[in-house]
């Protein structure tokens, strides 16, 4: 029987894997296969179903089993999500495995040929403190069924999702997940501002967040003190690297970008932003900072895997607050809305430089916050 695991425990430096034996790259033979015949090296998974060899195998195969197999075992969610699980998503807080089951049935009804293709799993932890996993996957399929966003369009979608989960004993009991809903709606041919206006007037469950839920979203699984401060090390420190670089980009003058990003940076972000240029990255950040001149950004959690020789995979969960007081083409005329922004960033790092970045934040929710503020002034 699933248990109530309480609050997720923050990770320490000793919980970070220093090798890639258990990794998606190894599991899929550099992504030449999706589900291997052999499931990788055995790892201690006390309380997990014995069919899973390691945490990457668990994350990839439960996703495949729930969403894609011929049987499509959506109700298996009840066996791998705790009844009291907390899921922070684009809209707010969703509670319990029953809600996830209902949402999954809704999505598979709207996209019956759906595929969730794993592209990265960054993990840390163990079966005592909890396994923390940052799962980057791609939702691919055709919208041939009606959904909460309207009638079937027949259009194909391909959108990035990042889910940061904490699991113990075969149960995911905490999740921060971003579905890139804005990209999906755009691919379906839906006007984002029209949809933001509609949803602000008739909000989905969990929206808007209370201040308490916002506070809990930010501090869940977060250490009280950064690992780089509580347990400093000589040489390269992924925690310090992630915190310093994010702070410089979003709160500072971006002077570290040229030194810490490769010039031809491959970047994929919310609402179909894609480019291969660190200068374009600066432009993207500047657009957001012009819209929210008082933006206050903080790093909530960092974990990683790797070493100096093989490189590093780093997952950073972050959040920010700011007032929509700047006019931009992207977010239109300033509304004065006090906005909450939260996101997850994955980096591939080598020789102290970011070689690739994937990033999502709650962009449709952000537009809904702006739309709601505009409604209040009418």
In the predicted structure, residue 6 carries a pLDDT above the cut 90: no
- For the segment 273-288, the average pLDDT, to the nearest whole number, is 96
- For the segment 276-293, the average pLDDT, to the nearest whole number, is 97
What ranges do the domains of the chain cover? 13-192, 214-377
In the predicted structure, residue 232 carries a pLDDT above the cut 80: yes
Residue 69 pLDDT grade (very low, low, confident, very high; cuts 50, 70, 90): confident
Predicted confidence at residue 352, as pLDDT, reads 98
Across all residues in the chain, what is the average pLDDT? 96
Matching CATH topology for 13-192 and 214-377? yes
Residue 4 pLDDT grade (very low, low, confident, very high; cuts 50, 70, 90): low
Predicted confidence at residue 130, as pLDDT, reads 98
> How far apart are the C-alpha atoms of 254 and 258, rounded to whole Å?
8
φ, ψ for residue 252 (rounded to 5)? -110, -150
Predicted confidence at residue 135, as pLDDT, reads 98
Predicted confidence at residue 195, as pLDDT, reads 98
Residue 71 pLDDT grade (very low, low, confident, very high; cuts 50, 70, 90): confident
Predicted confidence at residue 201, as pLDDT, reads 96
Chain centre to alpha carbon of residue 150: 25
In the predicted structure, residue 2 carries a pLDDT above the cut 50: no
Cα angle vertex 300, ends 63, 196, to 5°? 65
CATH fold of 13-192 reads Nuclear Transport Factor 2; Chain: A, (3.10.450)
Residue 3 pLDDT grade (very low, low, confident, very high; cuts 50, 70, 90): low
The 10s digit of each residue's pLDDT in 338-368 is 999 999 999 999 999 999 999 999 999 999 9
The 10s digit of each residue's pLDDT in 23-43 is 999 999 999 999 999 999 999
Predicted confidence at residue 378, as pLDDT, reads 57
Predicted confidence at residue 1, as pLDDT, reads 41
> How far apart are the C-alpha atoms of 49 and 58, rounded to whole Å?
9
In the predicted structure, residue 14 carries a pLDDT above the cut 90: yes
In the predicted structure, residue 255 carries a pLDDT above the cut 70: yes
> How far apart are the C-alpha atoms of 254 and 281, rounded to whole Å?
10
The residues, any chain, with a CB within 8 Å of residue 114's CB and separated by 6 or more, are 67, 68, 107, 108, 139, 140, 141
CATH fold of 214-377 reads Nuclear Transport Factor 2; Chain: A, (3.10.450)
Determine what percent of the chain is predicted with pLDDT higher than 90: 96
> How far apart are the C-alpha atoms of 75 and 97, rounded to whole Å?
9
- For the segment 163-192, the average pLDDT, to the nearest whole number, is 98
Cα angle vertex 355, ends 361, 237, to 5°? 85
Structure tokens at 142: 């055709």
- For the segment 280-291, the average pLDDT, to the nearest whole number, is 97
């Amino acid at each position: 029987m699933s248990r109530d695991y309480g609050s997720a425990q923050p990770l320490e430096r000793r919980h970070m894997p220093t090798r890639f034996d258990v990794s998606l790259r190894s599991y899929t033979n550099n992504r030449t296969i999706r589900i291997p015949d052999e499931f990788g090296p055995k790892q201690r998974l006390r309380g997990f179903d014995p069919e899973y060899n390691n945490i990457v195998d668990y994350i990839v195969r439960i996703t495949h089993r729930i969403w894609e197999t011929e049987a499509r075992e959506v109700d298996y969610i009840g066996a791998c999500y705790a009844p009291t699980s907390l899921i922070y998503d684009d809209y707010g807080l969703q509670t319990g495995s029953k809600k996830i089951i209902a949402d999954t049935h809704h999505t598979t009804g709207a996209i019956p040929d759906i595929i969730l293709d794993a592209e990265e799993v960054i993990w840390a932890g163990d079966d005592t403190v909890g396994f923390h996993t940052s799962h980057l996957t791609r939702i691919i399929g055709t919208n041939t069924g009606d959904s909460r966003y309207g009638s079937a369009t027949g259009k194909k979608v391909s959108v990035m999702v990042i889910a940061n989960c904490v699991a113990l004993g075969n149960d995911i009991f905490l999740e921060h997940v971003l579905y890139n809903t804005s990209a999906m709606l755009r691919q379906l041919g839906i006007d984002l501002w029209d949809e933001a206006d509609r949803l602000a007037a008739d909000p989905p469950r969990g929206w808007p967040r209370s201040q308490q839920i916002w506070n809990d979203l930010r501090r869940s699984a977060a250490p009280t003190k950064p690992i780089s401060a509580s347990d400093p090390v000589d040489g390269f420190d992924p925690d310090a690297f992630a915190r310093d670089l994010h702070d410089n980009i979003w709160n500072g003058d971006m002077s570290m970008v040229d030194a810490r990003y490769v010039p031809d940076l491959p970047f994929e972000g919310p609402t179909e932003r894609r480019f291969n240029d660190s200068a374009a990255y600066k432009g993207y950040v500047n657009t957001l900072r012009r819209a929210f001149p008082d933006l206050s950004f903080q790093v909530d959690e960092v974990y990683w895997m790797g070493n100096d020789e093989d490189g590093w995979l780093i997952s950073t969960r972050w959040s920010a607050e700011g007032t929509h007081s700047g006019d931009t083409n992207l977010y239109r005329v300033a509304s004065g809305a006090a906005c909450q922004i939260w996101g997850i960033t994955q980096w591939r790092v080598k020789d102290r430089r970011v070689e690739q970045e994937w990033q999502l934040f709650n962009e449709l929710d952000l537009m809904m916050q702006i739309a709601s503020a505009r409604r209040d002034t009418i």
